[in-house]
Amino acid sequence: MKYLFAIPGAGSGPKEFVGWQESLGEDIVFKKVLYNKGLLSAGPYCQNMSEAASVVADEVLKTAGKDDDIYFFGHCMGASIAYEAASLLAREKDIQIKGLFFAAFISPNVPILDGISDLSDEEFTKEIHSHGVFPEEFFINESILKLFIPSIRADYRLIEEYCDRSGYVLDCPIVGFFGKDDQVVRPEETKDWPKYTSKTYKSIYFPGDHYFYYDKQQKMAEIIREMIETGFGNAEGSLA
């Protein structure tokens, strides 16, 4: 059995992973992993990257067996969580994933210097509003906003306090998806991703900025399916 475990970005908005199972087809089982137990949970939230990686690894161990092919996908901060979970499985469980895919994020060893997790509720809300990830109703309804903000803030704090120092090298291919006009994740912040694999690394570029992902999810899922089916042999480096 082939499994793709998908780790969402900060906040995991409703636009995340729409239509993925259909795009992956019947031969790949899609599993979304909520490292902070879902937005509606009142906590406790993961306090550091090790905890988040353990949540993902535990989900893998509950779902897949040693003979299954395991793949990870991480969107934005989910990329670092996917990397850490893959490292944990390799180091502690002798389980090597077959491939790591990610979208729109920096190399694990690059610190985030302009974080937003310590902003006031008002400033924090304005910042995530500007990202355009959540529907407008989310920001109009104050009771819903108060329910969601602690979990979203916990996500941002988790990644803003993380910076890999181990440099653990995965024994699987890594594929990164990027927006050509991304002004949030700069090329110099992604250049070390190839150092994290002993196999092949490939960058694939889409038109768009940092949020290209939300319009291109199904295309990415199709590319992932193709690369899994062909042993990472296909997919051009730049897509229209």
The residues, any chain, with a CB within 8 Å of residue 196's CB and separated by 6 or more, are 83, 107, 108, 167, 168, 169, 170, 174
More confident position, 175 or 41: 175
* pLDDT tier for residue 236 given thresholds of 50, 70 and 90: low
Alpha carbon 220 to its chain centroid, in Å, reads 13
Whether residue 166 contacts residue 87, with contact meaning beta carbons closer than 8 Å, is answered with: yes
Whether residue 74 contacts residue 84, with contact meaning beta carbons closer than 8 Å, is answered with: no
pLDDT over 80 (residue 37): no
Residue 81 has a pLDDT of 96
Residue type, 172: C
| Ordered strands of the 174-179 beta sheet | 28-32, 2-7, 69-75, 99-103, 174-179, 201-206
Give the start-end residues of each E strand in 54-197.
69-75, 99-103, 174-179
Whether residue 224 contacts residue 101, with contact meaning beta carbons closer than 8 Å, is answered with: yes
* pLDDT tier for residue 167 given thresholds of 50, 70 and 90: very high
The residues, any chain, with a CB within 8 Å of residue 160's CB and separated by 6 or more, are 112, 115, 116, 117
Q: What is the mean pLDDT of residues 84-110?
A: 97
Q: What is the mean pLDDT of residues 127-145?
A: 83
Q: Could you report the per-residue pLDDT of 193-206, keeping only the tens digit for each?
A: 999 999 999 999 99
Backbone phi, then psi, for 49, in 5-degree steps?
Answer: -65, -35
Integer CA distances (angstroms), 231 to 98, 199, 226, 235, in order:
10, 12, 8, 11
Backbone phi, then psi, for 238, in 5-degree steps?
Answer: -145, 130
- Global model pTM greater than 0.75: yes
Helix/strand/coil for 102: strand
pLDDT over 50 (residue 239): no
Residue 240 has a pLDDT of 40
Q: Which two tokens stand for residue 56?
A: 């993902």
Report how far residue 217's alpha carbon sits from residue 69's, in angstroms, rounded to the nearest whole number: 22
Q: What is the DSSP letter of 166?
A: S
Ordered by start, the domain boundaries in the chain are 2-111+164-229
What is the CATH T-level fold of the domain 2-111+164-229, as seen in this structure?
Rossmann fold (3.40.50)
